[in-house]
Amino acid sequence: MLFLYVRSTMDIRKSMLPPDQILADIKALKIQGATNVALAVLDALSKAIEEQPDISCFELTKLGEILAYARPTEPLAQNAVRYISAGCTEEATKRIAAYKTYIEKGKLTIPQIGVPLLSDGGTYLTLCHSSTTVKLFTAARAKGAYFSLYVAETRPRFQGRITAKELLDAGFDDVTMTVDDVAVSLIEGRIGKIDAVFIGADLINDKGFVNKIGSLAVTAAAKRKHIPVYVLTTLLKYDPTPFSPAMIETRNSEEIWKEAPDNLKFYSPAFDYVSYMSNVHVVCEDGVIPGKQVKKATNKHYPFVFDTGYDKYLHYGKSVYPLSRP
């Protein structure tokens, strides 16, 4: 049965356009960032419908799942598949457009909600790359707030460099890059003073959030110093399924040391799971809220996230993920 299932997904993957390339690019982080991954999945589904107008709901959903679960901590893409599967195939094209609108609206509104959190003359820390966080900083600067920014480089893929470059390109003149280990020292006040931390999230649920490795240490250090941590995220990243540490992918050892000595072991998790501490505030479509209100807010704005009626088409989800990973 498992053999037939895997065979069917491979057949679908080969028969529809170039999802192989999209899948490879997501895994290799050539397509990175929750929004970019979700949009790539949506575009692949649109093209599949265009090329095969008679595609079945099962086939369309399966294609979406293969791509959306290429990395398990991508609920923005996974919820897109869930949303589309409820109306496919008659309404699939409309639902793809609607979901893109949800994403775009969040990108516009969430930074504006967060602008009052930054003040003129402040010093703030961020890590990795979050397009929403960058938009927040640029929106605050556009409204006259001038502040200093520290950006942790975020090894081993150095996504913090993307953030730093985008800020410089946007006209910021007080951006400081730091190695990851210095971030906690900054928060501890040993090197200057940090007023708040602003980060994104790849996944949120009712108990915590997933973000790039280093987020847990930064959040815990900030709590000790009573420094707020603001997590900027759309509620579409809410994952209603139980979180498992097995969902945290580990990266290739060559990303750390290409010519490492033989028999040297590596442990390089890509993400941290961070419980909602008292200093964590979620900046989302519902405003600036504590973590304990995230589930309620998600159900208010996007109730389809919790609708299990869609699951008649979903066979590639987390319950079977370890067996059926592409």
Written as tens digits, the pLDDT of the chain (326 aa) is: 222 233 343 443 344 436 788 888 888 878 888 899 999 999 999 998 888 888 888 889 899 999 999 888 899 999 999 999 887 766 899 999 999 999 999 999 999 999 999 999 999 999 999 999 999 999 999 999 999 999 999 999 899 999 999 999 999 999 999 999 999 999 998 777 899 999 999 999 999 999 999 999 999 999 999 999 999 999 999 999 989 988 898 888 999 999 999 999 999 999 999 999 999 999 999 999 999 999 999 999 999 999 865 554 454 444 333 322 22
Which two three-digit tokens encode residue 263? 């028999």
Domains of the chain, with CATH numbers? 2-107+307-324 (1.20.120), 118-302 (3.40.50.10470)
Number of H helices, E strands in the chain: 12, 10
* CA 192 – CA 190 distance, rounded (Å): 6
Helix axes 180-187, 215-224, angle to 10 degrees: 10
Which two three-digit tokens encode residue 165? 């470059």
Q: Which amino acid is at 47?
A: K
DSSP classification of residue 286: T
* CA 135 – CA 126 distance, rounded (Å): 13
* CA 210 – CA 74 distance, rounded (Å): 10
The whole model's pTM is what? Answer: 0.87
Altogether, the residues listed in the chain come to a count of 326
3-state secondary structure of 229: strand
Angle at 302 between CA 297 and CA 304, to 5 degrees: 130
Q: How do beta strands 229-232 and 148-152 pair?
A: unpaired
* CA 140 – CA 230 distance, rounded (Å): 15
Torsion of CA 221, 224, 228, 232, to 10 degrees: 40
DSSP classification of residue 166: H
Backbone angles phi, psi at 69, to 5 degrees: -100, 15
Q: Which amino acid is at 286?
A: D
Query: Catalytic residues, which ones?
Result: 202
Backbone angles phi, psi at 134, to 5 degrees: -60, -40
